Amino acid sequence: MTNTVRVGTLVASLFLAVTAHSQELSIETNVFQGFRSAARTAQTSPLVHYLPPASGWSTEIASQRQQLREVLGLDGAALLTGDRATIAYGVPHRIEAMRGQIVVSVLPRPSGKGMMEFDVTITSGKDAQAVTTSASVSGRVGSTFVLGGRTPTLPDGWATADSPFFVFITPLERLSVPAVWPVGGEVTAPREISRVKPDFPPDAKREGRTGAVIFEVVVDASGAVTSVEIVRHADPDLEQAALTAVKQWRYEPATRNGAPVAVWFSITMRFPRPVAADSVRP
Protein backbone atom coordinates (compact mmCIF):
# COMPACT_ATOMS: atom_id res chain seq x y z
CA MET A 1 0.00 0.00 0.00
CA THR A 2 2.84 2.29 0.86
CA ASN A 3 4.54 1.56 -2.48
CA THR A 4 1.29 2.28 -4.31
CA VAL A 5 1.00 5.64 -2.58
CA ARG A 6 4.58 6.46 -3.41
CA VAL A 7 4.13 5.54 -7.05
CA GLY A 8 0.94 7.58 -7.22
CA THR A 9 2.66 10.55 -5.65
CA LEU A 10 5.56 10.26 -8.10
CA VAL A 11 3.23 10.08 -11.11
CA ALA A 12 1.29 13.09 -9.83
CA SER A 13 4.50 15.05 -9.31
CA LEU A 14 5.70 14.21 -12.83
CA PHE A 15 2.31 15.21 -14.26
CA LEU A 16 2.39 18.53 -12.46
CA ALA A 17 5.97 19.17 -13.61
CA VAL A 18 5.12 18.40 -17.24
CA THR A 19 1.93 20.46 -17.06
CA ALA A 20 3.77 23.42 -15.52
CA HIS A 21 6.46 23.20 -18.19
CA SER A 22 3.85 23.04 -20.98
CA GLN A 23 2.24 26.21 -19.64
CA GLU A 24 5.33 28.31 -20.30
CA LEU A 25 6.58 30.03 -23.42
CA SER A 26 9.95 31.57 -24.19
CA ILE A 27 9.91 34.87 -26.07
CA GLU A 28 12.58 37.17 -27.43
CA THR A 29 11.48 40.78 -27.80
CA ASN A 30 13.39 43.64 -29.44
CA VAL A 31 12.17 47.25 -29.53
CA PHE A 32 13.58 49.55 -32.22
CA GLN A 33 13.20 53.21 -33.09
CA GLY A 34 13.35 54.04 -36.76
CA PHE A 35 14.63 57.25 -38.31
CA ARG A 36 13.50 58.83 -41.54
CA SER A 37 14.76 62.02 -43.12
CA ALA A 38 12.29 64.85 -43.69
CA ALA A 39 12.67 64.44 -47.44
CA ARG A 40 11.82 60.73 -47.34
CA THR A 41 8.18 59.73 -47.05
CA ALA A 42 6.96 56.59 -45.34
CA GLN A 43 6.16 53.66 -47.63
CA THR A 44 3.91 52.01 -45.06
CA SER A 45 2.06 53.16 -41.97
CA PRO A 46 4.04 52.26 -38.84
CA LEU A 47 0.80 51.17 -37.18
CA VAL A 48 0.41 48.16 -39.48
CA HIS A 49 1.00 44.75 -37.89
CA TYR A 50 3.44 42.56 -39.79
CA LEU A 51 2.71 38.88 -39.27
CA PRO A 52 4.56 35.78 -40.48
CA PRO A 53 5.10 34.08 -42.80
CA ALA A 54 4.50 36.68 -45.52
CA SER A 55 6.86 39.24 -44.03
CA GLY A 56 9.77 36.85 -43.57
CA TRP A 57 11.10 38.80 -40.60
CA SER A 58 14.40 37.59 -39.20
CA THR A 59 15.06 36.54 -35.60
CA GLU A 60 18.54 38.16 -35.61
CA ILE A 61 18.95 41.74 -34.34
CA ALA A 62 21.29 42.90 -37.11
CA SER A 63 18.99 41.45 -39.78
CA GLN A 64 15.91 42.98 -38.15
CA ARG A 65 17.53 46.42 -38.30
CA GLN A 66 18.38 45.91 -41.96
CA GLN A 67 14.87 44.72 -42.81
CA LEU A 68 13.34 47.77 -41.14
CA ARG A 69 15.37 49.99 -43.46
CA GLU A 70 14.56 47.98 -46.57
CA VAL A 71 10.88 47.20 -45.99
CA LEU A 72 9.78 50.50 -44.46
CA GLY A 73 12.10 52.92 -46.23
CA LEU A 74 13.87 54.03 -43.07
CA ASP A 75 17.28 55.69 -43.05
CA GLY A 76 18.24 53.87 -39.87
CA ALA A 77 16.98 51.97 -36.84
CA ALA A 78 18.33 51.92 -33.28
CA LEU A 79 17.76 49.12 -30.79
CA LEU A 80 16.10 50.65 -27.72
CA THR A 81 15.88 47.53 -25.59
CA GLY A 82 15.74 43.76 -25.74
CA ASP A 83 14.19 41.14 -23.52
CA ARG A 84 14.69 37.36 -23.23
CA ALA A 85 12.27 35.63 -20.90
CA THR A 86 10.32 32.44 -20.27
CA ILE A 87 6.83 33.44 -19.22
CA ALA A 88 3.69 31.65 -18.08
CA TYR A 89 0.58 31.42 -20.22
CA GLY A 90 -2.12 33.76 -19.01
CA VAL A 91 0.33 36.06 -17.22
CA PRO A 92 1.19 39.39 -18.94
CA HIS A 93 4.89 40.13 -19.42
CA ARG A 94 6.04 43.76 -19.37
CA ILE A 95 8.92 45.26 -21.37
CA GLU A 96 9.90 48.93 -20.98
CA ALA A 97 11.83 51.13 -23.40
CA MET A 98 12.72 54.79 -23.82
CA ARG A 99 12.88 55.70 -20.14
CA GLY A 100 9.60 53.94 -19.45
CA GLN A 101 7.71 55.98 -22.05
CA ILE A 102 7.11 52.89 -24.16
CA VAL A 103 5.69 49.80 -22.44
CA VAL A 104 5.00 46.53 -24.24
CA SER A 105 2.70 44.00 -22.56
CA VAL A 106 2.64 40.45 -23.95
CA LEU A 107 -0.02 37.98 -22.78
CA PRO A 108 0.55 34.47 -24.25
CA ARG A 109 -2.07 31.74 -24.72
CA PRO A 110 -1.53 28.12 -25.87
CA SER A 111 -2.93 27.24 -29.27
CA GLY A 112 -2.17 23.65 -30.27
CA LYS A 113 1.12 21.88 -30.86
CA GLY A 114 3.77 24.21 -32.23
CA MET A 115 1.32 27.10 -32.31
CA MET A 116 0.61 29.99 -29.99
CA GLU A 117 -1.54 33.08 -29.54
CA PHE A 118 -0.83 36.27 -27.66
CA ASP A 119 -2.34 39.64 -26.95
CA VAL A 120 0.01 42.60 -27.30
CA THR A 121 -0.63 46.08 -25.99
CA ILE A 122 1.81 48.94 -26.56
CA THR A 123 1.36 52.10 -24.53
CA SER A 124 3.41 55.26 -24.90
CA GLY A 125 3.75 58.86 -23.84
CA LYS A 126 4.20 60.31 -20.37
CA ASP A 127 3.89 57.45 -17.88
CA ALA A 128 3.02 55.29 -20.92
CA GLN A 129 -0.72 55.87 -20.56
CA ALA A 130 -1.84 56.19 -24.19
CA VAL A 131 -2.57 52.93 -26.02
CA THR A 132 -0.74 53.11 -29.34
CA THR A 133 -1.23 49.55 -30.56
CA SER A 134 -3.37 46.68 -29.35
CA ALA A 135 -3.62 43.39 -31.21
CA SER A 136 -4.30 39.67 -30.85
CA VAL A 137 -2.05 37.57 -33.07
CA SER A 138 -1.47 33.88 -33.62
CA GLY A 139 1.07 31.81 -35.46
CA ARG A 140 3.76 29.19 -35.29
CA VAL A 141 6.41 29.08 -32.59
CA GLY A 142 9.70 30.25 -34.12
CA SER A 143 8.12 32.95 -36.31
CA THR A 144 8.72 36.65 -35.70
CA PHE A 145 5.83 39.09 -35.31
CA VAL A 146 6.27 42.84 -35.81
CA LEU A 147 4.03 45.60 -34.49
CA GLY A 148 4.58 49.33 -34.80
CA GLY A 149 3.56 52.62 -33.29
CA ARG A 150 4.39 56.31 -33.11
CA THR A 151 7.07 57.42 -30.70
CA PRO A 152 6.03 59.94 -28.04
CA THR A 153 7.73 63.31 -28.14
CA LEU A 154 10.39 63.54 -25.44
CA PRO A 155 11.50 66.77 -23.72
CA ASP A 156 14.97 66.65 -25.26
CA GLY A 157 13.63 66.33 -28.78
CA TRP A 158 15.20 62.91 -29.33
CA ALA A 159 11.96 61.56 -30.82
CA THR A 160 10.02 63.13 -33.68
CA ALA A 161 7.03 62.34 -35.83
CA ASP A 162 9.43 60.75 -38.34
CA SER A 163 10.77 58.33 -35.72
CA PRO A 164 8.28 55.45 -35.32
CA PHE A 165 9.04 52.48 -33.08
CA PHE A 166 8.71 48.77 -33.81
CA VAL A 167 8.40 45.73 -31.58
CA PHE A 168 9.71 42.36 -32.77
CA ILE A 169 8.33 39.36 -30.84
CA THR A 170 9.63 35.84 -31.46
CA PRO A 171 8.09 32.94 -29.49
CA LEU A 172 10.54 30.04 -29.11
CA GLU A 173 10.69 26.58 -27.61
CA ARG A 174 13.85 27.67 -25.83
CA LEU A 175 15.80 30.92 -25.61
CA SER A 176 18.79 31.40 -27.90
CA VAL A 177 22.22 32.58 -26.78
CA PRO A 178 23.25 35.44 -29.10
CA ALA A 179 26.89 36.43 -29.59
CA VAL A 180 25.86 40.05 -28.96
CA TRP A 181 23.04 40.68 -26.47
CA PRO A 182 20.50 43.51 -26.44
CA VAL A 183 20.52 45.60 -23.27
CA GLY A 184 17.39 44.94 -21.25
CA GLY A 185 15.86 42.38 -18.91
CA GLU A 186 18.65 40.41 -17.24
CA VAL A 187 21.34 42.17 -19.30
CA THR A 188 22.65 45.32 -17.64
CA ALA A 189 23.80 48.34 -19.63
CA PRO A 190 27.55 49.05 -19.89
CA ARG A 191 28.74 51.87 -17.61
CA GLU A 192 30.79 54.68 -19.13
CA ILE A 193 34.36 54.93 -17.81
CA SER A 194 35.98 57.44 -20.13
CA ARG A 195 34.66 59.71 -22.86
CA VAL A 196 36.53 61.62 -25.53
CA LYS A 197 34.73 64.85 -26.35
CA PRO A 198 34.26 65.40 -30.09
CA ASP A 199 36.01 68.35 -31.71
CA PHE A 200 33.40 70.72 -33.10
CA PRO A 201 34.56 71.30 -36.71
CA PRO A 202 35.64 74.98 -37.03
CA ASP A 203 33.69 75.58 -40.25
CA ALA A 204 30.54 74.02 -38.77
CA LYS A 205 30.88 76.11 -35.62
CA ARG A 206 31.45 79.32 -37.57
CA GLU A 207 28.44 78.64 -39.80
CA GLY A 208 26.23 77.72 -36.84
CA ARG A 209 25.57 74.16 -38.01
CA THR A 210 23.93 71.87 -35.43
CA GLY A 211 22.71 68.31 -35.31
CA ALA A 212 22.38 65.05 -33.43
CA VAL A 213 24.05 61.81 -34.46
CA ILE A 214 22.77 58.47 -33.16
CA PHE A 215 25.06 55.47 -33.30
CA GLU A 216 24.38 51.79 -32.88
CA VAL A 217 27.53 50.33 -31.37
CA VAL A 218 28.77 47.01 -30.07
CA VAL A 219 30.50 47.22 -26.70
CA ASP A 220 32.41 43.97 -26.20
CA ALA A 221 32.97 41.97 -23.02
CA SER A 222 36.08 44.02 -22.24
CA GLY A 223 34.21 47.34 -22.47
CA ALA A 224 35.68 48.46 -25.80
CA VAL A 225 33.62 49.89 -28.67
CA THR A 226 34.23 47.38 -31.46
CA SER A 227 31.59 48.28 -34.03
CA VAL A 228 29.93 51.60 -34.85
CA GLU A 229 27.10 52.31 -37.29
CA ILE A 230 25.29 55.61 -37.76
CA VAL A 231 21.53 55.08 -37.63
CA ARG A 232 20.46 58.72 -37.55
CA HIS A 233 22.45 61.02 -39.77
CA ALA A 234 23.39 64.67 -39.37
CA ASP A 235 25.79 67.10 -41.03
CA PRO A 236 28.66 65.03 -42.57
CA ASP A 237 31.35 67.07 -40.78
CA LEU A 238 29.58 66.61 -37.44
CA GLU A 239 29.16 62.89 -38.12
CA GLN A 240 32.89 62.44 -38.72
CA ALA A 241 33.78 64.32 -35.55
CA ALA A 242 31.33 62.25 -33.53
CA LEU A 243 32.54 58.99 -35.09
CA THR A 244 36.18 59.75 -34.29
CA ALA A 245 35.31 60.47 -30.66
CA VAL A 246 32.97 57.58 -29.93
CA LYS A 247 35.44 54.96 -31.14
CA GLN A 248 37.68 55.97 -28.24
CA TRP A 249 35.08 55.68 -25.48
CA ARG A 250 35.57 52.99 -22.85
CA TYR A 251 33.00 51.19 -20.70
CA GLU A 252 32.71 48.87 -17.78
CA PRO A 253 31.22 45.87 -19.59
CA ALA A 254 27.57 44.94 -19.59
CA THR A 255 26.77 41.83 -17.59
CA ARG A 256 24.35 38.94 -17.70
CA ASN A 257 23.97 36.96 -14.50
CA GLY A 258 27.14 38.66 -13.27
CA ALA A 259 29.30 37.67 -16.27
CA PRO A 260 30.58 40.25 -18.85
CA VAL A 261 28.89 40.05 -22.26
CA ALA A 262 29.03 41.93 -25.55
CA VAL A 263 25.97 44.11 -26.17
CA TRP A 264 24.27 46.30 -28.73
CA PHE A 265 24.16 49.84 -27.40
CA SER A 266 22.78 53.15 -28.72
CA ILE A 267 24.67 56.42 -28.26
CA THR A 268 23.28 59.88 -29.01
CA MET A 269 25.75 62.72 -29.58
CA ARG A 270 24.50 66.30 -30.01
CA PHE A 271 26.20 69.36 -31.41
CA PRO A 272 24.28 72.35 -30.01
CA ARG A 273 24.27 75.76 -31.60
CA PRO A 274 27.46 77.62 -30.55
CA VAL A 275 26.96 80.65 -28.32
CA ALA A 276 28.06 83.82 -30.06
CA ALA A 277 30.96 85.59 -28.32
CA ASP A 278 29.17 88.95 -28.22
CA SER A 279 26.16 87.35 -26.51
CA VAL A 280 28.19 86.14 -23.55
CA ARG A 281 28.02 88.56 -20.60
CA PRO A 282 30.82 88.81 -18.05
Collapse the DSSP code of 204 into the 3-class scheme (helix H, G, I; strand E, B; otherwise coil) and give the result. Answer: helix
In the predicted structure, residue 155 carries a pLDDT above the cut 60: no
Residue 216: C-alpha distances to residues 43, 93, 232 (Å): 24, 26, 9
By CB atoms closer than 10 A (0-12, 13-18, 19+), residue 114 is exposed
- Cα torsion 189, 190, 196, 199: sign: negative
Using the 8-state DSSP alphabet, how is residue 223 labeled?
Answer: S
Residues forming a β-bridge with 182: 264
Work out the percent of the chain whose per-residue pLDDT is above 90. Answer: 31
What are the pLDDT digits (tens) for 17-66? 333 445 888 999 999 988 876 555 544 445 556 766 656 788 888 889 88
CA-based R_g, the chain, Å: 23
pLDDT at 274 over 70: no
Q: How many residues does the chain have?
A: 282
Q: What pLDDT score was predicted for residue 53?
A: 63
- The predicted pLDDT at position 40 comes to 53
62: left (phi over 0), alpha (psi -120 to 50) or beta: alpha
Residue 127 has pLDDT above 80, yes or no: no
Q: What global pTM score does this model have?
A: 0.79
Percent of the chain whose pLDDT exceeds 70 = 77
Does the pLDDT value for residue 168 go beyond 70?
Answer: yes
State whether residue 131 is helix, strand or coil: strand
User: Are 249 and 188 a contacting pair, CB within 8 Å?
Assistant: no
pLDDT at residue 114, as a whole number: 82
pLDDT in tens, 222-262: 999 999 999 888 889 999 999 999 999 999 999 999 999 99
